[in-house]
């Protein structure tokens, strides 16, 4: 079985002299990356023959050094635990403690934040500026079944859990996307997504480097800078989340007509533009198509499984749908009793195959609960399928509202409410109610200079929604709570109604 360290060696063998990483105005080849990773591995090993799945937590900004540290951990036989550069000390402490990290690596700009956390727990602390030693003559052999990466993912309750993927499952995820989206060495992509999530680490960085492509790393998202990269005719592939597309649309709309044309022309030269990590509103899909000429490729995945479903690279991409199973992925929909459901009937998505993670780190009961007796992973997401094309209805725990005996999709209601001329953004949740089970509640962000009340929205919504789907609660908010990937945090939305 091939694995992540094989991916590294293969990339270098095939593309040693090609540019792997562009960061801070500098270009770094695959050969230079491999050599830097080996020096990182030597520093981490510190005379040991093998880290043997020891966890290494690291806090490094998007950069060549980030990739060298990630690859170095793998080459030393360790499990990489990327930390979020936006998290406060308390959240970093949870990840370091929960993962049982033996070593904590940090860039100097984060030393004051993370060194006290590491040293208070007796962890070895290493600065990236210490990576100066020569590479060891021999590094450990790493087999596919070994743990490779722990990414912390939040559920609807409790603290985030660490999802552990193996070298084999990461390889399967990467190869699936390489095949489906036809990555090649001539590709170039800009990376501005957070690097403690699967979207940035796997879909962008790892797929690019497995292919011999170039990855340009930016320090966060800035609409002007990203539009500039699109317009200068260098990129071939673009991946972002819906909120980023919304901000790019706003920038385009405010630009002079001549600049608008230049930006749109830049988009049309790209071969692929992808949206994921959150539901893409149909209105954003259509607006982006009118600006860019691209029907955004929507896909579906999770930290625990990588990407599982995707619209086709070649063929019809249906707005509001996430396509069919990717190569090597088996998917099914089941009812609450675990029985497969026919086309057109809502069911929970379950996934099976080599892309699925190994476990929630240190949580055997949570791991067992998320797998069926025959080994399928329970995603907790509800969808309908027609002709093998899936449409997500929502997450069973937060997006499926049970009201008056009906199961209602919060995402469906949100899609309709966004069409109201006063509403800029919205989120729909279920609020416990003794009579109805749950009441449909909407939190809305309005366009500037307008007002909206519950009676008005209910009257308007009767034209588009069944009576039991229409919100019976409404709160106007300045903004919606979102996580680092731009996904709305529904439990935080529900708190708006607890206060009202």
Is residue 493's pLDDT more than 80?
Answer: yes
State percent of the chain over pLDDT 90: 78
Tell me what pLDDT residue 72 has: 96
Q: Give the range among 131-140, 329-338, 346-355, 425-434 with minimum mean pLDDT.
A: 131-140
Over residues 58-82, mean pLDDT: 97
Tell me what pLDDT residue 155 has: 58
What is the band of 464 on the pLDDT scale with cuts at 50, 70, 90?
confident
Give 400-499's CATH code, choosing from 2.60.120.590, 3.40.605.10, 3.30.300.30, 1.10.3720.10. Answer: 3.30.300.30
User: Going by C-beta distance under 8 Å and a sequence separation of 6 or more, which residues neighbour residue 376?
Assistant: 332, 350, 351, 352
User: Going by C-beta distance under 8 Å and a sequence separation of 6 or more, which residues neighbour residue 319?
Assistant: 280, 282, 285, 286, 295, 298
The more confidently predicted of residues 484 and 148 is 148
Tell me what pLDDT residue 4 has: 58
The more confidently predicted of residues 133 and 392 is 392
Over residues 151-179, mean pLDDT: 87
Is residue 500's pLDDT more than 80?
Answer: no
Interatomic CA distance for residues 1 and 142, integer angstroms? 11
Tell me what pLDDT residue 458 has: 95
Is residue 257's pLDDT more than 80?
Answer: yes
Interatomic CA distance for residues 226 and 220, integer angstroms? 10
Query: Do 438 and 398 form a contact (C-beta atoms < 8 A)?
Result: no
Over residues 252-269, mean pLDDT: 96
Is residue 100's pLDDT more than 70?
Answer: yes
DSSP 143-171: -TTSEEEEEEE--SSSS-EEEEEEHHHHH
The three-class DSSP label of residue 229 is helix
Backbone angles phi, psi at 353, to 5 degrees: 145, 180
What is the band of 158 on the pLDDT scale with cuts at 50, 70, 90?
low
Q: What is the architecture of the domain spanning 4-190?
A: 3-Layer(aba) Sandwich (3.40)
Q: Calculate the CA 401 to chain-centre distance.
A: 25
Is residue 157's pLDDT more than 60?
Answer: no
Over residues 180-202, mean pLDDT: 95
Query: Which residue in the block uniquely carries the two structure tokens 């469906």?
Result: 412
Residue 61 exposed, middle or buried by CB count within 10 Å (0-12, 13-18, 19+): middle
Query: Do 273 and 294 form a contact (C-beta atoms < 8 A)?
Result: yes
pLDDT, the chain, mean: 92
Over residues 197-209, mean pLDDT: 95
Is residue 221's pLDDT more than 50?
Answer: yes
- The domain locations on the chain are 4-190, 400-499
Is residue 1's pLDDT more than 50?
Answer: no
State percent of the chain over pLDDT 70: 97
Interatomic CA distance for residues 137 and 280, integer angstroms? 49
Tell me which H or E stretch contains 273: strand 272-275
Over residues 66-84, mean pLDDT: 96
Tell me what pLDDT residue 484 has: 79
Over residues 228-239, mean pLDDT: 94
Tell me what pLDDT residue 499 has: 59
pLDDT in tens, 357-392: 999 999 999 999 999 999 999 999 999 999 999 999
Tell me what pLDDT residue 427 has: 95
Helix axes 89-99, 111-120, angle to 10 degrees: 40
């Amino acid at each position: 079985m091939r694995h992540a360290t094989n991916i590294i060696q293969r990339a270098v063998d095939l593309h040693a002299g090609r540019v792997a990483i562009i960061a801070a105005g500098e270009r770094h080849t695959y050969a230079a990356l491999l050599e830097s990773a080996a020096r990182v591995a030597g520093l981490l090993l510190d005379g040991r023959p093998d880290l043997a799945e020891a966890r290494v937590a690291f806090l490094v900004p998007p950069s060549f050094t980030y990739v060298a540290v990630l690859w170095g951990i793998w080459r030393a036989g360790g499990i990489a635990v990327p930390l979020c550069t936006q998290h406060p000390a308390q959240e970093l402490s949870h990840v370091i403690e929960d993962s049982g990290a033996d070593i904590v690596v940090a860039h100097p700009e984060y030393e004051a934040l993370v060194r006290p956390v590491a040293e208070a727990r007796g962890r070895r602390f290493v600065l990236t500026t210490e990576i100066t030693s020569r590479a060891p003559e021999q590094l450990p052999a790493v087999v596919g079944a070994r743990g490779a990466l722990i990414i912390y993912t939040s559920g609807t309750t409790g603290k985030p859990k660490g999802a552990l993927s193996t070298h084999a499952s990461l390889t399967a995820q990467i190869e699936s996307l390489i095949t489906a989206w036809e990555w090649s060495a001539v590709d170039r992509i800009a990376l501005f997504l957070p690097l403690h999530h699967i979207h940035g680490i796997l879909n962008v960085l790892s797929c690019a480097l497995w292919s011999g492509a170039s990855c340009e790393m930016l320090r966060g998202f800035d609409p002007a800078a990203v539009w500039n990269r699109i317009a200068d005719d260098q990129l071939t592939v673009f991946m972002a989340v819906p909120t980023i597309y919304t901000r790019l649309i706003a920038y385009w709309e405010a630009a002079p007509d001549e600049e608008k044309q230049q930006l749109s022309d830049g988009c049309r030269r790209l071969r692929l533009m992808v949206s994921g990590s959150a539901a893409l509103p149909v209105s954003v899909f259509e607006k982006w198509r009118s600006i860019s000429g691209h029907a955004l490729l929507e896909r579906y995945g999770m930290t625990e499984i990588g990407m599982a479903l995707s619209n086709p690279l070649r063929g019809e991409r249906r707005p509001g749908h996430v396509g069919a199973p990717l190569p090597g992925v088996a998917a099914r929909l089941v009812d609450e009793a675990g029985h497969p459901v026919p086309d057109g009937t809502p069911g929970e998505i379950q996934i099976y195959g080599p892309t699925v993670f190994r476990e929630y780190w240190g949580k055997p009961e949570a791991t067992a609960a998320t797998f069926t007796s025959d080994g399928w992973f329970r995603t907790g997401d509800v969808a309908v399928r027609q002709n093998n094309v899936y449409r997500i209805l929502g997450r069973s725990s937060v997006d499926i509202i049970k009201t008056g005996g009906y199961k209602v999709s919060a995402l469906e209601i949100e899609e309709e409410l966004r069409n109201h001329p006063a509403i800029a953004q919205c989120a729909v949740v279920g609020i416990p109610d003794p009579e109805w089970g749950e009441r449909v509640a909407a939190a809305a962000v309005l366009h500037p200079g307008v007002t909206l009340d519950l009676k008005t929205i209910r009257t308007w919504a009767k034209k588009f929604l069944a009576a039991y789907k229409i919100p019976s609660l409404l709160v106007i908010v300045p903004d919606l709570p979102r996580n680092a990937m731009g996904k709305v945090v529904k439990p935080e939305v529900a708190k708006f109604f607890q206060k009202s």
